[in-house]
Structure 1
Amino acid sequence: MFSRISLAAGAAAGGLVVFFAMQAVNAVWLLPVARYEGRAAERVEAQAATNKAIGELTNAADRARVNRRLCLERGWLYLNGTGQCVERATQPNG
């Protein structure tokens, strides 16, 4: 009843519909979660490597310079007297 060409065309069209439906599902629900988890894991890994590198510094002055630079890169305030990194106080607008 159906020719082989019409069956092949129907199968191809059905395959495309399923393919595009799955791409839409992945884009809406699955990919944002995977991206967030990947970024979080990358941050943890980078922080661990940074902490290890800082711990391997033998000179206290070198450690203080690295900690100060990291603090300033985050936008925080480095207190020279105590060697602490604290969040900057927000300034009122106006």
Structure 2
Amino acid sequence: MITKTAAIIGGVGGLLLAFAIFQIVNALWLLPAARSHAVDGYIESQAVADRKAELERKGDDATLQNLSNYDLCVAGLRSSRMPIDPCDQLRGNDSE
């Protein structure tokens, strides 16, 4: 017959063996896969953000190239909350 002590030792040994096997599987297979997945997701999100920023810059560049000298001066001074009086001298020089 199996004694109570032998059953307890067997149970604890089995739990320790199962824990050790899970730790080995975790360290060799699950964690590297999770890291790889996280890195791929980070790279993907950076690529999406870079593309979005590039499209916004292209739109801003196209908008700025279509502005006259006066409008460009006014936009720059208004964004800094400064008076637009110095831009008045550019009103007649749009053709240059």
TM-score (ref. length: structure 2): 0.49
Partner of 2:60: 59
Identical columns (%): 33
Kindly indicate whether residue 53 of structure 2 is the aligned counterpart of residue 50 of structure 1.
Answer: no
What is the distance in 2 between the residues matched to 1:49 and 1:4?
A: 63
Higher helix share: 2
CA root-mean-square deviation: 2.3
TM-score by length of 1: 0.50
Q: Structure 2: which 5+ residue stretches go unaligned?
A: 63-96
Which blocks of at least 5 consecutive residues in structure 1 are unaligned? 62-94
Aligned residues: 61
Return the structure number with greater relative CO, CA threshold 8 A, min gap 6: 2
Counterpart amino acid of residue 55 in structure 2: G
